[in-house]
Amino acid sequence: MNHKPNALKKGDTVGVIAPASPPDPKKLETALLFLEELGLQVKLGKALKNQHGYLAGQDDERLADLHEMFKDQEVKAVLCACGGFGTGRIASSIDYSLLCKHPKIFWGYSDITFLHTAIHQNTGLVTFHGPMLSSDIGLEDVHPLTKASYQQLFQETAFTYTEKLSPLTVLVPGKAEGALVGGNLSLLSSTLGTPFEIDTRGKLLFIEDIDEEPYQIDRMLNQLKMAGKLSDAAGILVCDFHNCIPVKREKSLTLEQVLEDYIVSSGRPALRGFKIGHCSPSIAVPVGVHAAMDTAKKTVVIEAGVSGGAH
């Protein structure tokens, strides 16, 4: 059973944490001004400015920030400053019963994919795969649609992805519907064989990635295929694969050939070209809600990720 968090309203407080790598301080400052423009108050996690190698502090520090923000009655949403690396290190230590007791908006993408999968599968809470503060909103030139994605947190309205947002290509024709799950391909493949293994049965699976060569995408899609994750899915949304081009290998398959080998051969209805992931614009989607794809119409209708109930 899916549980939608309450929608935000102006004046609400949101918590900002870094459960993976530390954010760029200047870009984060810029992004916090954006949150204020939305009419939101901000609480910063204690470990937000910590650094431990490529991590934003020790595992227990990042974990404590996550727990504290969910526990804090004043905080209505938990927003991730950036991705990077490290969420898989804390997933097994999260108190999922605490998250069930205090359901609220959780927002991020990239390395945060591991937490989307872990939280949704352990609690049923709908979370948001959306553009992050320092790594997206903090940039000098932010696409209006990237900023507009944050409006999904305030509105209990369904969202339809059409070619008005980006050109879409049919890889496998057909209709499919189910809960929308997925995210970053590297992180999804890293869940396999763990207690947080992505469940794609009867679901719409969306995938994206950045800076991975075709042979690396090949390896990860092959792993998903052999684990039955592609054939289990009701349908597949191929999102942005930013800068996934051959660099080290002169003789390489193209990204298109790799996608053809795995996505087309899965036989599941599939569309490609969604501006979801490491791209501009970066469109947010709620994870765990019902979605319906029609390749003939080139549309995906996605339920609202929040409930309009008062809090």
| Residue 245 domain flag | yes
Q: Does residue 309 have a pLDDT over 60?
A: no
- For the stretch 216-236, pLDDT in tens is 999 999 999 999 999 999 999
Rounded average pLDDT over 6-22: 98
Domain that holds residue 219: 159-302
Same domain, 267 and 138: no
Q: Is residue 61 part of a domain?
A: yes
Point out the catalytic residue in the list 21, 61, 110, 135: 110
> Which CATH number covers residue 82?
3.40.50.10740
Write the pLDDT tens digit of every residue in 278-305.
999 999 999 999 999 999 999 999 999 9
Buried b (16+ CB within 10 A) or exposed e, 218-246: bebbebbbebebbebbbbbbbbbbeebee
| Catalytic residue, candidates 120, 212, 278, 282 | 278
Residues 170 and 122 in one domain: no
Beta-bridge partner residues of 209:
241
List 61, 177, 208, 213, catalytic entry? 208
Structure-token match 């968090």, residue found: 5
Indicate if the pLDDT at residue 129 is higher than 60. Answer: yes
Pick the last residue of a domain from 122, 153, 184.
153
Q: Tell me if 309 is assigned to some domain.
A: no
How many structural domains is the chain composed of? 2
Whether residues 203 and 238 fall in one domain? yes
Tokens of 166: 């980006």
Letter string b/e over residues 249-276, b meaning 16 or more CB atoms within 10 A of that residue's CB = eeebbebeebbeebbeebebbbbbbbbb
Residue at which a domain ends, from 126, 153, 180: 153
Number of CB atoms found within 10 A of residue 247's CB: 11
Rounded to whole angstroms, what are the CA distances from 80 to 5, 48, 154, 175? 16, 10, 18, 33
Residue 122's alpha-carbon distances to 33, 42, 95, 167, 197, in angstroms, are 33, 27, 10, 35, 11
Residue 2 lies in a domain: no
The yes-or-no answer on residue 278 being catalytic is: yes
Q: Which residues contact 193 (CB under 8 A, 6 or more apart)?
A: none
Of 120, 153, 186, the one marking the end of a domain is 153
| Beta pairing class for 235-242 and 204-210 | parallel
**pLDDT exceeds 50 at position 310:** no
| Average pLDDT of the segment spanning 47-75 | 97
Count CB neighbours of 71 within 10 A: 13
Catalytic: 260?
no
**Residue 190 located in a structural domain:** yes
The structure's pTM equals 0.96
The answer on 225 and 140 residing in a single domain is: no
Same domain, residue pair 82 and 173 = no
Residue 197 within a domain: yes
Task: Mark whether 138 and 181 lie in a shared domain.
Answer: no
Based on the fold, state whether residues 194 and 106 are members of the same structural domain.
no
Structure confidence by residue, pLDDT tens digits, 168-217: 999 999 999 999 999 999 999 999 999 999 999 999 999 999 999 999 99
Residues 207 and 109 in one domain: no
